[in-house]
Amino acid sequence: MKGLQPYSRIWLTGAGSGIGEALALQLAKAGHSVVITARSEASLQALARQSERFIAAAADVTDPQALSEVATLIQARLGGLDCVILNAGTCEYLNDGRVDSALVRRVMETNFMGLVHCIDVAQPLLANSHSARLVAISSAAAYAPLPRAEAYGASKAAVSYFMETLRLDLAQQGVAVTVVYPGFVKTPLTDRNDFPMPMRVTAEAMAAAIHQGLVKGKPEIRYPKLFVGLVRCLGRLPFFIRTRLGLKMVRQKDGASHG
């Protein structure tokens, strides 16, 4: 399958900050036409002023009607799409194993159902492209159970399974699928984290890895490779060893982890 072609028509969600903002700038610099979507109109307009290749379309990915309006705009302005990059996401953690159903719903609605809503409206726009590609930002957390990440990890595991299965069903239609597995990335979202984030990379470095991977047509992009590889190995360890290592990461009441 071909990689990202020159002067492609791209729709990028979650473009208001972090990885999305950095990736939008790199894609525009490379000459692509980029429809940028985020909830914040102010953030989008600030970004849109940085390149004439941007088309700002504010929307919440949990709102199907708003996404339908974005799709109408894309059809009118670009006549379709070649690539959809589903980057919009959120993260909230559970504490001490106390399940908060409202929290879990919020995370799943944005990270998983938001992705599904976007694909629903984007598929007709990809129909006439000779290099159609769906790109989803998953997470290293999808590979292994990590303390407090019940909601976030489950949402990203759902993203990975959904996209990997969709890859099989869309293969005969010529639509490629890429799943991205970031480790810790410095963004406004991770700046709120209250725990160590080993091997954390900048949003610009993560965006560059995604861009390069798409140009090469990679079905999976993992970055930073060492950290994501370690988490992936953790998920593949025998149950007893995996559980023992996971328990060492659980914070005690004073904020320390188990030794």
Instruction: Determine which helix (DSSP H) or strand (DSSP E) holds 36, and give its type and residue range.
Output: strand 33-37
Chain segment 222-253, per-residue pLDDT in tens? 999 999 999 999 999 999 898 998 888 886 55
In the chain, count H helices and then E strands.
Answer: 9, 9
Report pLDDT for 252.
58
What's the gap between Cα 195 and its chain centre?
22
Q: How far is residue 7's CA from residue 192's CA, in Å, rounded to a whole number?
A: 36
Chain segment 149-179, per-residue pLDDT in tens? 999 999 999 999 999 999 999 999 999 999 9
Report pLDDT for 216.
98
Q: How far is residue 75's CA from residue 86's CA, in Å, rounded to a whole number?
A: 18
Question: Average pLDDT over the chain, rounded to whole?
Answer: 94
Q: For 42, what's the count of Cα atoms within 13 Å in the CB-facing half-sphere?
A: 0
Do 182 and 20 contact (CB within 8 A), yes or no? no
Using pLDDT thresholds of 50, 70 and 90, give the confidence band for residue 256.
very low
Average pLDDT, integer, range 178-198:
92
Active site residue 223: no
Which of 93, 152, 181, 223 is labelled catalytic? 152
Chain segment 35-65, per-residue pLDDT in tens? 999 999 999 999 999 999 999 999 999 999 9
Using pLDDT thresholds of 50, 70 and 90, give the confidence band for residue 259.
very low
Domain parsing of the chain, residue ranges: 9-248
In CATH terms, the superfamily for domain 9-248 is NAD(P)-binding Rossmann-like Domain (3.40.50.720)
Q: How far is residue 133's CA from residue 125's CA, in Å, rounded to a whole number?
A: 11
Q: How far is residue 218's CA from residue 3's CA, in Å, rounded to a whole number?
A: 7
Q: Look at strands 133-137 and 176-182 and give their pairing.
A: parallel
